[in-house]
């Protein structure tokens, strides 16, 4: 047992490490064990670990460009690398008019994009008193963190529309049902704000029809956000790439240690306008020139970790070829397991995911 109070005098490192072995490890859930099948599978790698160690050692606090130019520039480069690997439209890259940022989690990223589109809509509507008119849309398979993000962004919970899915559509979001929900809200005096579609839902592995949903979003001139946190990494493989356009978490399937969530935005100015801060102590000529990226204006917090370093190490150490091999190997194992268990009657497939996943 650990003592109730902190030690007054320093203790030998050997004693501390023994307590790690005897007191800490026995109480941990071993997420990296090959026998761990809950949530998402083992996601770390030696390259990710080394990158994380370097990140912690440098202890960079890169809230703006001038606080650590390399941290900002590397993040911009790595996000463009990832975007090109996924064949995202060039409008999402820094080399054009878009850009990417690394967050700690999907929920953090969702709050930021919701805040950006909320502020844009409220400006068009005439002020904050209209926030109760804003409505957000998702399927009943969408990750629950988006409901939390909408609440944090000030959207009334009663205005969060969870559109029912069914087995007949593979539990994906129906564009027709989405249109009906939007039209009903407009008739009721509400203002459609934001649609979250998903590539690989957590409950069923469902893949929403992005192209068709995008047409509905464009028809009503609303923000379309794609959550590909779970399955998006797989889309570096050409045979899976047609599923993706949005946000993914390398710490779920990309051999990158927690935490690392990629977000690409087509119009970064909307996020900067919503989240920007300009206190006297942070003002500098580089920021004033508008020629650099200040990532503090792309996120909730001021301080931020040097996450790009570990992602950079992972990509360089493994290379695109081995990363694709890793993804394809996992998919092949899932398909093999599914086929074996279905054949002997131990598994019933309720929904077929885009990456060869299965559901009990």
Tens of pLDDT, residues 269-303: 999 999 998 999 999 999 999 999 999 999 999 99
Q: Domain count of the chain?
A: 1
Largest CA distance in the chain: 70
Look at residue 246 in the predicted model and tell me its pLDDT. 52
Question: What's the rounded mean pLDDT across residues 79-89?
Answer: 93
Q: Which residue range(s) make up the domain with 169?
A: 51-314
Q: Is the pLDDT of residue 357 over 60?
A: no
Question: What's the rounded mean pLDDT across residues 4-14?
Answer: 96
Question: How confident is the prediction for the chain on average, in pLDDT?
Answer: 90
Look at residue 359 in the predicted model and tell me its pLDDT. 45
Distances (CA, A) of 176 to 180, 184, 199: 6, 12, 18
Look at residue 355 in the predicted model and tell me its pLDDT. 47
Look at residue 264 in the predicted model and tell me its pLDDT. 95
Pairing of strands 261-265, 247-248: antiparallel
CATH of the domain at 294: 3.40.640.10
Q: Is residue 273 part of a domain?
A: yes
Specify the higher pLDDT residue, 141 or 341: 141
Question: What's the rounded mean pLDDT across residues 237-250?
Answer: 70
261 sits in which H/E element:
strand 261-265
Q: Is the pLDDT of residue 306 over 70?
A: yes
Q: Is residue 155 part of a domain?
A: yes
For residue 136, give the nearest of 127, 149, 126, 122 by alpha carbon: 149
Asked if residue 42 lies in contact with residue 36, where contact means CB atoms within 8 angstroms, the answer is yes
Residue at token pair 């240690």: 257
Q: Is residue 18 part of a domain?
A: no
Structure tokens at 356: 């060869």
Q: In what order do the strands lie in the sheet with 223-227?
A: 99-103, 261-265, 247-248, 223-227, 191-198, 134-139, 160-163
Element counts in the chain: helices (H) and strands (E):
11, 7
Question: What's the rounded mean pLDDT across residues 185-206?
Answer: 92
Question: What's the rounded mean pLDDT across residues 109-137?
Answer: 96
Q: How far apart, in whole angstroms, are the C-alpha atoms of residue 280 and residue 261?
A: 30
Q: Is residue 231 part of a domain?
A: yes
């Amino acid at each position: 047992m650990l003592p109730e109070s902190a030690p007054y005098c320093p203790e030998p490192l050997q004693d501390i490490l023994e307590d790690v072995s005897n007191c800490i490890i026995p109480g941990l859930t071993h997420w990296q064990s090959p026998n761990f099948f809950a949530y998402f599978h083992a996601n770390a790698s030696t390259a990710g670990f080394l990158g994380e160690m370097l990140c912690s050692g440098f202890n960079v606090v890169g809230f703006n460009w001038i606080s650590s130019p390399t941290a900002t520039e590397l993040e911009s480069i790595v996000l463009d690398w990832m975007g090109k690997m996924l064949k995202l439209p060039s409008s999402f890259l820094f080399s054009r008019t878009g850009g990417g940022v690394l967050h700690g989690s999907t929920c953090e990223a969702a709050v930021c994009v919701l805040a950006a589109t909320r502020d844009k809509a409220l400006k068009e509507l005439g002020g904050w008193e209209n926030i109760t008119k804003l409505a957000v849309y998702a399927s009943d398979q969408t990750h629950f963190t988006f409901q939390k993000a909408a609440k944090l962004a000030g959207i009334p919970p009663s205005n969060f529309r969870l559109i029912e899915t069914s087995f007949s559509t593979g539990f994906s979001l129906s564009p027709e049902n989405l249109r009906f929900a939007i039209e009903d809200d407009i008739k009721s005096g509400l203002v459609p704000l934001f649609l979250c579609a998903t590539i690989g839902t957590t409950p069923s592995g469902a893949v929403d029809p992005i192209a068709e949903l995008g047409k509905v979003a464009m028809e009503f001139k609303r923000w379309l956000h794609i959550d590909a946190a779970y399955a998006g990494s797989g889309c570096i493989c050409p045979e899976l790439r047609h599923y993706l356009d949005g946000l993914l978490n390398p710490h779920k399937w990309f051999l990158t240690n927690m935490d690392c969530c990629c977000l690409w935005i087509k119009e970064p100015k909307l996020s900067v306008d919503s989240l920007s801060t300009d206190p006297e102590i942070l003002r500098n000529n580089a920021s004033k020139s508008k020629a650099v990226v200040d990532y503090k204006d792309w996120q909730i917090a001021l301080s931020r970790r040097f996450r790009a370093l570990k992602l950079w190490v992972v990509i360089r150490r493994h290379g695109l070829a081995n990363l694709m091999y890793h993804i394809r190997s996992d998919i092949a194992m899932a398909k093999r397991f599914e086929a074996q268990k279905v054949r002997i009657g131990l598994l019933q497939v309720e929904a077929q995911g885009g990456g060869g996943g299965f559901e009990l």
